[in-house]
């Protein structure tokens, strides 16, 4: 009977390795999923920028949003739990605005890729294929630091993970577990003489190349907990 016991043990060993990775797009405790892994529910197309949107009448904005949504659906698609962009069209935006929050997002670019994540509708936490500089910096800052503290990117075509925390006008970014931006003021790119907006949409930006995102989770931080 000894060979049978040995065989049973040998069969059981590989069964323990089937749970290598957690299921895609399932938020950790305290977070909610912005992307459900199935479709574009909760997302919309990009209409202009915050100052221009503010100048539109409700009817003008609704018509522009309908056109933007139609264009968005032509270029952003979902396959096997991954959100993909074909390299054409404009940014993908959350349907909801956010103030203070913590954001988790996996992203992947190809060679020469260039992207970013807009916070409150403002550029941006940088994503690009620049191993000499690295991703994660607040690229559009002019006064405060714009470059990451270190290069923490994985090789092109591999998945990376951002943990982005925004409280008030300050942003902290971890890339693949490494601190790359430490409580830096994010400047208002659209209106340089004003502080960043108190709330706004989150945008997945592009520069005309293929992009991939998954595991997009957010935890809103109430104001009383940030004071």
For the segment 139-155, the average pLDDT, to the nearest whole number, is: 98
User: What letter would DSSP give residue 35?
Assistant: -
51 in Cβ contact with 191 (< 8 Å): yes
Mean pLDDT of the chain: 91
User: What is the arrangement of strands in the sheet containing 203-206, beginning at the earlier edge strand?
Assistant: 43-45, 92-94, 203-206, 114-119, 122-128
The two most distant CA atoms of the chain are separated, in Å, by 82
Distance CA 129, CA 157 (A): 10
DSSP β-bridge partners for residue 53: none
What is residue 6's predicted lDDT score, i.e. its pLDDT?
36
This prediction's pTM: 0.88
Q: Is the pLDDT of residue 10 over 60?
A: no
For the segment 115-134, the average pLDDT, to the nearest whole number, is: 97
User: What letter would DSSP give residue 154?
Assistant: P
Question: pLDDT band at residue 13, thresholds of 50, 70 and 90?
Answer: very low
Cis peptide before 79 (omega within 30 of 0): no
What is residue 152's predicted lDDT score, i.e. its pLDDT?
98
User: What letter would DSSP give residue 7?
Assistant: H
Q: Is the pLDDT of residue 2 over 50?
A: no
What is residue 180's predicted lDDT score, i.e. its pLDDT?
98
Q: Is the pLDDT of residue 14 over 80?
A: no
84 in Cβ contact with 77 (< 8 Å): yes
How far is residue 217 from each of residues 66, 124, 139, measured CA to CA in Å? 26, 18, 23
Distance CA 149, CA 133 (A): 9
Nearest residue to 167 via CA among 116, 117, 98 = 98
What SS3 state is found at 68?
helix
Question: pLDDT band at residue 11, thresholds of 50, 70 and 90?
Answer: very low
Question: pLDDT band at residue 33, thresholds of 50, 70 and 90?
Answer: very high
Distance CA 207, CA 1 (A): 65
| Token pair belonging to 46 | 């990009």
Question: pLDDT band at residue 1, thresholds of 50, 70 and 90?
Answer: very low
Please count the helices (runs of H) and the strands (runs of E) in the chain: 3, 13
User: What letter would DSSP give residue 98?
Assistant: B
Question: pLDDT band at residue 22, thresholds of 50, 70 and 90?
Answer: confident
What is residue 225's predicted lDDT score, i.e. its pLDDT?
60
What is residue 77's predicted lDDT score, i.e. its pLDDT?
97
Terminal C-alpha separation, the chain: 68
Q: What is the pLDDT of residues 148-206, one digit of tens each?
A: 999 999 999 999 999 999 999 999 999 999 999 999 999 999 999 999 999 999 999 98
């Amino acid at each position: 009977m000894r060979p049978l016991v040995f065989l049973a043990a040998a069969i059981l060993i590989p069964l323990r390795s089937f749970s290598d990775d957690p299921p895609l797009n399932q938020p950790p405790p305290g977070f909610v999923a912005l992307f459900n892994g199935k479709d574009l529910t909760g997302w919309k197309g990009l209409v202009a920028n915050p100052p221009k949107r503010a100048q539109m009448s409700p009817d003008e904005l609704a018509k522009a949003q309908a056109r933007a949504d139609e264009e968005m659906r032509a270029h952003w698609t979902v396959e096997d739990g991954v959100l993909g962009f074909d390299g054409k069209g404009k940014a993908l935006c959350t349907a909801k605005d956010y103030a203070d929050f913590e954001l988790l997002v996996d992203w992947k670019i190809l060679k020469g890729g260039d992207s970013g994540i807009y916070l409150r509708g403002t550029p941006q936490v940088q994503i690009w294929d620049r191993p000499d500089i690295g991703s994660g910096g607040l690229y559009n800052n002019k006064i405060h630091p714009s470059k990451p503290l270190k290069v923490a990117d994985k090789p092109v075509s591999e998945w990376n993970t951002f943990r982005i925390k925004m409280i008030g006008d300050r942003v902290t970014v971890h890339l693949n577990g490494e601190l790359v931006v430490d409580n830096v003021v994010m400047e208002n790119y659209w209106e340089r003489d004003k502080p960043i907006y108190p709330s706004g949409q989150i945008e997945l930006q592009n520069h005309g190349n293929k992009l991939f995102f998954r595991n997009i989770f957010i935890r809103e931080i109430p104001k009383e907990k940030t004071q």
